[in-house]
Amino acid sequence: MQQTYVLTVLTFLPVAGTLALLLLRSDDHVWIRRLALVTAAAEFAISLLLLRGFSVQATGYQFEEFHEWIQQPPIHYHLGVDGLSLFLVLLTTLLTPVSILASWKSIDQRVKGFFISLLVLETGVIGVFVSLDLFLFFMFWEVMLIPMYFLIGIWGHERRIYAALKFVLYTMFGSILMLVAILWLYRVTAAAGYPTFDIAQIQALLSSGTITLPLRTEILLFGAFFLAFAIKVPLFPLHTWLPDAHTEAPTAGSVMLAGVLLKMGTYGMLRFCLPLFPEASRRFAPEIAVLAIIGIVYGALVSMVQVDLKRLVAYSSVSHLGFVVLGIFAFQAVSIQGAVFQMLSHGISTGALFLGVGMLYDRRHTHLIKEFGGLATPMPVIAALYLFTCFASAGLPMLNGFVGEFLILAGTFQKHAAWASWAALGVIFSAVYLLWSYQRVFFGSITQDKNGALPDADMRERGILFLMAVIMLWMGIGSPFFTRRIETSTQNVLQLMRRPQAYDAGEINNHDMNAMDMDQSTMPVNSANSAAPAGAAGSVKSR
Amino acid sequence: MSLPLQDLCRVAPEIVLCAFAMLVMLLAPIVPRARHGILSTISVLGAGIALAATRFPAMYPGAAYSGLFRADAFSLFVHWIVCGAAFLVILGSTSYLQREDLDAGEFCALILLATAGMGIMAGAQELLTAFIGLEMSSIASYILASYKRDAPRSNEAGMKYFLLGSFATAFFLYGIALFFGASGSTRLDMMTPLANDSARTLLKMGLGFIFVGLAFKVAAAPFHLWAPDVYEGAPAPVTALLSTGPKAATFALALRILADVGAASPLWFWALWVAAVLSMFAGNLAALVQTSLKRMLAYSSVAHAGYILVALATAAATDHAEAGIAAALFYLVGYALVQLGAFLIVAQLGGPGERHVEIEDFAGVARRQPAMAACLSLFLLSLLGLPVTVGFLGKFYVFNAALESNLIWLAILLGLNSVIAAYYYLRVIVAMYMLREPEQEIAAEPVPWTLSLVLWIASMGTVYIGLFPARVIGFAAKAALNMR
Amino acid sequence: MTGNDLQSYAPLLLHLTLAMALSGVLVLLSSLVGWRRPSTTKSQPYECGITPTGDAREPFSVKFYLVAMVFILFDVEAIFLYPWAYIFRELRWFGFVEMILYIGILLVGYFYLWKKGALDWNRPAVRRDRAS
């Protein structure tokens, strides 16, 4: 294997940038901004190398790096990307410079600390996406909390401290259980004589049958991992931290939070829950799907009644991420592809929505919809681009949102027609709340005098929004570019879900599936497990 | 009888510490008060030489003085912790002593003597030797706690510590007596097979009393009630020492008893389990409602004693206790570094007379003293157990050990407590970074270079060990293996 | 020790019980049967036949405590000389050096006390001159 250092550079370049920032005087705002932007832009350029060198056909991880780190217990510095993480890394490296640009003027207090937090956050998030060692993964997962905590807590709005604490406590609660689960998994591998934290190795051990998890253990471990990810996504009913955090965070914080941090949850489900705990995943898929659908519909309905524009966008994330979870737990190649695509697309379009809301906030220092009205007259450019973003987010064909939602619904429909049809409601609702709020903000007559003279977007803002719009269009039209690269990895996830002892039954499962309805989807799990001693008891219980 | 050179080598750190303590006490009345800084310098030097002198026991491992004392990797490791703590505390407190107009001579001499006592505890292989070590460190600590004679708070702290401490000591001594009665020896490694049931009863009682005595010393619930008052009232640098060194030494003694006395593990397991859970909850829940940072840190130190007790419980739970012992040792290193740093920062930021130790007094510290705020945040995050700090790895190893011994519930309770703890640690960070500054300006005192050096060492250590724990945990594991 | 070795303490317990009972009975009896005719002279504290002056409950000077403590310390340390003297010949030079060291340490303490003014009755002992 040819040794590359792209991922290490990519992960730690932002930290290097913060070290450089520390050398600058803290009142030298101009150079601090410039340096941060240069770092983030360089980061993005390097990540494009990743895209260029990425092989479409290759299965498994690419750009792998593997070093010893801690001998006892054996923890490795193992990085790598595949189709699942490639675009998430790119999304992160794209949204960071955009966030920096977006906070160019609006952040004028403690500028240095702000950009340091943002860059450290980038390191944490990229680390989460590229690390292939459970310990390393967990480290980045936790590290990312601190800068986000500061971003919300220092530069946020009125209730920022409450929101920041809530965000951290929720996430920590989930992640501490995940840590226990990670160590438990490690103990299982150690008991079998192959102590490791390496994801690839654990997967190999599991699929070769060297280690087997009793169903009960698997469910508990799955539960711990899933809870951590579900809080992050956030899945209904664990979503209550999200509206607060999003609303109170500064624009850049919201963009990063909605754009990439939420994706860490769904990414975790794809990377860990499904391949490591396939039985438990299958078993709980119906319940999770129901929660996802509730999230989709509930998020959309709550969005409709929001009086606060930012909160509206925040709740729309609950709805959109529900689609992602649904797609993942439909276990169809198409739906999982759609889920990954939807993660990206949501990152771009919701990011753009938050940017737009942030621009309004910069001008009027409020998020309340009733304070606006008729803004299309003073600021036509923002209005046009915001409308474009709304269309993208609502899933208008030719734009990015459509592709993701379509793939998810199409994939899900193949197996679970009922789920898909309920979820489709969300698509309709999203058009309602987005366009209705758009109408109240931008159309009509100018109700407040202050709004009449608001300046339109300057060059910087136009640049940001235009860039986002171009990407939305590209993702809508050029979706094969993305799906081709995602495809191999999604197949791989489904492949890994078939364990040796479950293999035959799994085939039966697929065969029978078409004739069965949703209620009996747990059936095959039991038959799959009948080889194991626990199987008999399990099947009795489920009746 | 020839000079027992090897034995002398095995207690070299203690000899150095005592010699320097005496030197300082000799000089204290002679050197004019204005130049007491030189006494601090000598003491720092003494602690440093003691740290270096651990080379000698490392060269001649084995039992010394007919098995009363033992120099092995384990005692070496604990020596590093206690001598390092003394070094950092003395160095970090020089400016404090000047500011508060306290005598440096006795202060430093007492710290050195207390450290010698802790060293003896770390290496003791016999209960009376351990008792002498315990008393040496305790009596010095009593005086240190009330070192600010003019402050009622400090007096109260010394008094409470003395009363409850002697109570605990009495328990410990009684336990030793019963232990001796049962086993016929106070040597930990010389347990004769028990004669009969009544001897077993005696041993059980003896170990029970010893446990109570030790639990008092580490401030583990339900024997923690003295800790908040003492930690709050004592001068902050003393608190820094009290919450690190004696704890490490006492845990070392407990581990030694666990490792050497086979009967202790099954007896102590549930006691450790219960004490761990109680300490974690008592410490964390009480810390939630504190308004004084010093008191909050005191309660958090009770909680941390609970976390270490989890490691001890795992060591008691299985035959292969190495993971638990290594985890406890590693945790102690990280905890000592961080706790020291935090209390020394409190000592500095508290201002003259330590008047500003309420959490709300820390509002706006990030603006006034960004470096101090950053250091304190780092230490708090390490106490909280977030990655890239040594605190995270400490918790990680404790979790790992707990799961290895199948103590899943203990692990989950530990996890739950870390989340509770997050709230109050973050509250301090909120105050420093996110709250408005108070109306009347608190003057930002310049940070003396000695304290900067200490904080630099502590924070670098926190991050470095947090990233590359291999050597520390490797040595801890070796120490644990060595005990058997 | 054979059997339940706590049993061997039974005579001791018996002794204790008897002693306590006896003394208790004596005190009780004398207070029940005895005559009692209190007078001023009788209820005065006994001070070797000398007429007492003033109240006994006066605060002592803290210097007494200091001297008492110093006395006890050095007195107790001196006790260690006796066992040493007993096996002095067997220990030979080693014992001699050890004892010199020991006394040296005591001397350091003595010197410290002396210089700190703990032995000086008239000077305010171990006080920091804060007022200046």
Q: Model confidence over B186-196: pLDDT tens digits?
A: 888 877 666 67
Whether residue B372 contacts residue B459, with contact meaning beta carbons closer than 8 Å, is answered with: no
A241 shares a domain with A260: yes
Please state at what angle helix B322-349 crosses helix B390-404, rounded to 10 degrees. 150
- Length of chain C measured in residues: 132
Whether residue B92 contacts residue B451, with contact meaning beta carbons closer than 8 Å, is answered with: yes
Distance between C8 CA and the closest CA of chain B, angstroms: 12
At residue A308, φ and ψ (nearest 5 deg) are -105, 125
User: How would you label A457-481 residue by residue, b for 16+ Cβ within 10 Å and e otherwise?
Assistant: beeebeebbebbbebbeebbeebee
A234 shares a domain with A343: no
- The pLDDT confidence band at residue A72, using thresholds 50, 70 and 90, is confident
CATH: 2.40.160.10, 3.40.50.1220, 1.20.58.1610, 3.40.50.1580. Which one for C62-116? 1.20.58.1610
C4–B199 CB contact, under 8 Å:
no
At residue B82, φ and ψ (nearest 5 deg) are -70, -40
- The pLDDT confidence band at residue A508, using thresholds 50, 70 and 90, is very low
As given in the structure block, the two tokens for residue A355 are 């940017």
Chain A residues near residue B434 by CB distance under 8 angstroms: 153-154, 160-161, 164
DSSP A51-83: HHH--SS--S-EEEEEEEEETTTTEEEEEEE-H
B388–A143 CB contact, under 8 Å:
yes
Of B381, B415, B430, the CB nearest to A176: B415
Element (H, E) at B64: strand B62-64
B403–A180 CB contact, under 8 Å:
yes
- Length of chain A measured in residues: 543
- The pLDDT confidence band at residue B441, using thresholds 50, 70 and 90, is low
A52 shares a domain with A161: yes
Rounded-to-integer distance, Cα C25 and Cα C23, Å: 5
B25–C94 CB contact, under 8 Å:
no
Q: Which residue of B has its CA nearest to A114?
A: B433
Is the preceding omega at residue B469 within 30 degrees of 0, hence cis? no
Chains that touch B (3 or more CB pairs under 8 A): A, C
Look up residue A255 and give its amino acid: V
pLDDT score, position B78: 93
pLDDT in tens, A2-13: 567 888 888 888
pLDDT score, position B456: 93
DSSP A257-268: IIIIIHHHHHHH
A435 shares a domain with A506: no
A176–B418 CB contact, under 8 Å:
yes
A180–B433 CB contact, under 8 Å:
no
B29–C112 CB contact, under 8 Å:
yes
Rounded-to-integer distance, Cα B176 and Cα B188, Å: 11
Residue A526 scores a pLDDT above 70: no
Inform me whether the C-beta atom of residue C108 falls under 8 Å from chain B C-beta atoms. yes
The residue range of the domain holding A324 is 282-492
Inform me whether the C-beta atom of residue B408 falls under 8 Å from chain A C-beta atoms. yes
As given in the structure block, the two tokens for residue C41 are 């002279």
CB pairs under 8 A between B and C: 33
Rounded-to-integer distance, Cα A309 and Cα A174, Å: 29
Residue B42 scores a pLDDT above 90: yes
pLDDT in tens, A323-354: 899 988 888 888 888 899 999 999 999 999 99
Cα dist from A390 to A296, A349, B407, whole Å = 17, 8, 52
Q: Which residue of B has its CA nearest to C117?
A: B29
Task: Share the mean pLDDT of chain A.
Answer: 83
- The pLDDT confidence band at residue B332, using thresholds 50, 70 and 90, is very high
Angle at B346 between CA B345 and CA B349, to 5 degrees: 80
**Mean pLDDT on B135-143:** 93
A391 shares a domain with A315: yes
CB pairs under 8 A between A and B: 79
pLDDT score, position B172: 94
Residue C27 scores a pLDDT above 90: yes
pLDDT score, position C125: 46
From the list B99, B352, B147, B101, the residue with the least C-alpha distance to C129 is B101
Distance between B174 CA and the closest CA of chain A, angstroms: 40
Give the best residue of A15, A19, A69, A70 to mutate against chain B (max B CB count within 10 A).
A70
Residue B287 scores a pLDDT above 90: yes
Of A135, A139, A150, the CB nearest to B433: A150
DSSP A436-469: HHHHHHHSS---SHHHHT-----HHHHHHHHHHH
Residue A225 scores a pLDDT above 70: yes
β B62-64/A62-70 pair status? unpaired
pLDDT score, position A525: 37
Q: Which residue has the tokens 């407040």?
A: A448
Is the model more confident about B90 or about C65? B90
pLDDT score, position A499: 65
Inform me whether the C-beta atom of residue A142 falls under 8 Å from chain B C-beta atoms. yes
Chain A residues near residue B396 by CB distance under 8 angstroms: 135, 179, 183
Boundary-marking domain end, from A452, A474, A492: A492
- For C60, other C-beta atoms within 10 Å of its C-beta total 8
**Mean pLDDT on B263-271:** 86
Is the model more confident about A280 or about C53? A280
pLDDT score, position B212: 93
Inform me whether the C-beta atom of residue C128 falls under 8 Å from chain B C-beta atoms. yes
Element (H, E) at A306: none
CA of residue B464 relative to chain centroid, distance: 21
A184–B403 CB contact, under 8 Å:
yes
C5–B3 CB contact, under 8 Å:
no
As given in the structure block, the two tokens for residue A316 are 């729309």
pLDDT in tens, A432-476: 888 888 888 888 887 777 777 778 878 888 888 889 899 988 888
Boundary-marking domain end, from A217, A249, A276: A276
Inform me whether the C-beta atom of residue B374 falls under 8 Å from chain A C-beta atoms. no
Chain A residues near residue B400 by CB distance under 8 angstroms: 73, 183, 186-187
**Complex ipTM over 0.85:** yes
Q: Of A394-398, A446-450, C100-104, which range is least confident?
A: A446-450
pLDDT score, position A511: 40
A293 shares a domain with A256: no
Chain B residues near residue C92 by CB distance under 8 angstroms: 1
Cα dist from C14 to A418, B160, C1, C11, C22, whole Å = 88, 39, 20, 5, 12
How many domains is chain A partitioned into structurally?
Answer: 3
Task: Share the mean pLDDT of chain B.
Answer: 89
A272 shares a domain with A286: no
Please state at what angle helix B37-53 crosses helix B73-100, rounded to 10 degrees. 170
Whether residue A157 contacts residue A247, with contact meaning beta carbons closer than 8 Å, is answered with: yes
Distance between B48 CA and the closest CA of chain A, angstroms: 29
Of A161, A173, A183, the CB nearest to B403: A183
Q: Is C46 helix (H, G, I), strand (E, B) or coil?
A: coil
Residue B92 scores a pLDDT above 70: yes
A461 shares a domain with A336: yes
